[in-house]
Structure formats: structure tokens, C-alpha cells
Amino acid sequence: MSRTRPINCIIPPYILDKLLESPDRDVRQAALDTMLTTARLRGERTVRASFAGAIATPGDGRRTIFDCDEGVTLPRATLVRTEDGPESADTAVDQAFEGLGLTRDFYRQVFQRDSIDDQGMRLDGYVHFDVRFNNAFWDGQQMIFGDGDGTEFSNLAGSLDVIGHELTHGVTENTAGLEYHNQSGALNESMSDVFGSLVKQWSLKQKAEEADWKIGAEVWTPGIAGDALRSLKEPGHAYDNPQFGKDPQPDRMGKFIHLPDTPRGDSGGVHLNSGIPNKAFYLAAVGIGGFAWEGAGHIWYEALRASSADTNFQDFADTTHQKAGDLFGAGSPEQAAVLAAWAGVEIQISGVPKARTFAVNGNGRVGREDGIAALSRQLGELNAKVAALAKDLATIRTNR
């Protein structure tokens, strides 16, 4: 069946729906205008996709930023910054330029990927798109940033993880080509959240345990501190406020949300169910430790490259386990961390027995413990023994 090519927007439809309920007339109007413009662009995306490959030109990942001046016709936008030009007096222009560059450099230095398509694709960004446009999106060729309504959203170019998220849609499109609906679509969204977060962590040189693991905290409800569009660490807890209610993302398969495969149904819940693989990545990253892009990031990137259009959660989980073994060795701590991470979201790796063991639980009774908890406990005990042996050896050497 022929499918409409998606416009990959950072703001999901269920949040825009909430904006339509706002008591503020201007907020309601901005949300409605955003939804109508996005629907129109979705149709244009389908037409452009048929000849995008013919007009794409390699450019060593060179950046070019255009100012739409609140218009919606990209060819009429004004060129405002290039690789060879100075900084702009416009904050949104410079933020978009820097964000595109950091994302490009992240993929180049960490994964040796030559821009979004791995063939030096130029990176074009358009700022000040439309009036009070509450979104940012990748349309298959370029990045477009709205300024937000000034109440619930601020300038969308002001978030590095948003830019990393959107450009990663281009990476996914040029690797696995994950279909944008149901589980493959949720994986598509998850890949963008994962690598969007990693771009920010890489730029800040943060280790996994130091990162906030949030998406869009800088541009979402600027008047409310601490919230975000999504949280990889705690799906379902990114926000909880009177305007939007509680974050509806599930964090495990037992909470999987079934929605219609329509635009209003979030294409089968792609922005919602992405919380499940998001949580798995977070668990793998902190389980491995250190810089997340060096361990879990490489595993997920190789798994993405090995995936296909209809890959589902189970397929992807199995592939990450295999890639962890390929990269770090069968039975390695990294592979064990991946196994534990997927078990943590109720996905069992195919072909790996779910071992059971007995352990003393918190109330002093003997209870059953699943293989992941047992493995974590046993690894902890082994590490403690190694540390004790090292200490004894140091003492022996000192006393010689």
C-alpha cells in the first residue's frame, strides 16, 4: 500500500490537541494554524520525495540558514548565514547554525558518518517559519523551525536535542527507512530521541549518569521549570501540569498504547510508544556506564543500520543484543546490560532463556528473582570480589 511520506515533527499531535483546549484564544489559534500548515506540508512532502534524490547534492555537510520572515514559502526565504559568513545578530539563526553543525560533527566524529545521508549532504535550515508556528520538523531535505506561540513554546531552534532529534530522522530515512507508523514508527521516533539526547551529551561531555535525558526542555512551556516534551529516563514523567495533564508515554510493553494508524492517532502512537525503546536505551546506557555514545550509542547505531522498514520492537531488541556481542564480545558486560535493559521494558531477547534463581528479598523471605536481576546482582558480587582481591594484592606488595 502506498503511504503518505511523513513530516517528522518534534511536537506530537496529542500536545497540539491539548493546545486547542486552552482558555487563551491566541494559543488555540496558533495550535490550529500549526496543525493546518503541517497537514498541507505533509502533502507537499509526498510530492518532493519522488524527486528529492535527483536534486540532492553533496556539500561536505555545509550549513546554510535562511530566514522565512514568518512566511511559509521556502524558496522566498532570505539567505542569512553560510559556512563562510559571520555570526548573525539573530539568535535563532545562530542557534540553528550551531545546532546543525554540532549534530553533523557528532555523527562524523563518533560514527564516521558523512552528514545525514553519509554522502556529504548539505544542511539547510529555515528559521522564523510561519507566524507563531509551534513546531520544528525535518521534511526529507531541510530543517524548518517555528518561533513558537511565545506562551507554551519558545523559539524551536533553541534546543540542541530538538535539532539532533530532527536531523536523525534524516539518518534513519537514509539507513533503515523505518516506516512511520505503529512499532516501526515508534522506533523511528525513538532513534531520534536517543541520538538527539546523545548529541547534547556529546556536546557537554556528559557521562550517562550525569545527563538529564530530556527532550525539548528549553523550548517547552518556558514558564514551567523542569519539564520537557519527553524523558528517556522516565517516560510518563516528563511533565505533569494543568495545561497538558500528565505525560502519557508508556515505559514498558505492558502499557503499550494502541491507536489508529492516522495522523490524529499519531500514526499508531509513534510519539507515545517510543517511550518503551527510549527507556531500554537509557537502561543500557547507564548499565554500561561512561559516555553513552561510546557504548550503547554504537550498539544502537549499528542496530539501526542493520534494520529494515518494518522492524518492530522485538526485532530491534534482538539486533541490539547481537550487535553488542559483535562489538564487545559475547557474554560481555555490555551485552549483559543490553539484555537487562530490554527485560526492564518487558521485552525478552529471542533465543536467550529467561533464567530464574532464588534470592532473599527485602522482607527476609526467599523469593524468585528473574535472570536480569540475578545477573546484575551476580555481576555486583563479582566486582566486589575483584576489588577485594586487588586491595589484598596491594597490601601484600606494600608489606614486602
Contacts of 86 (CB under 8 A, 6+ apart): none
Q: Is 166 annotated as catalytic?
A: yes
- Bridge partners of 67, per DSSP, are 78, 127
- Give me 57's grid cell: 547534492
CA distance 36 to 42: 10
Q: H or E element: which one contains 113?
A: none
Q: Could you tell me if 290 and 334 are in contact, meaning their C-beta atoms sit under 8 angstroms apart? A: no
Residues forming a β-bridge with 358: 368
Catalytic annotation, pick one of 166, 173, 218, 302? 166
Judge contact between 193 and 169, C-beta under 8 A: no
Q: Per the structure block, which three cell numbers stand in for 274?
A: 517510543
CB distance 39 to 132 below 8 Å: no
Residue that the C-alpha cell 533553541 belongs to: 158
Residue 299's CB is within 10 A of a number of other CB atoms, namely 28
- The answer to whether residues 108 and 61 touch, using CB atoms and an 8 Å cutoff, is yes
State the catalytic residue, choosing from 165, 271, 298, 321: 271
Q: Cell 545527563, residue?
A: 211
Residue type at position 215 = I
- How far is the C-alpha of 21 from the C-alpha of 29, rounded, in Å? 10
Residues marked as catalytic: 166, 271
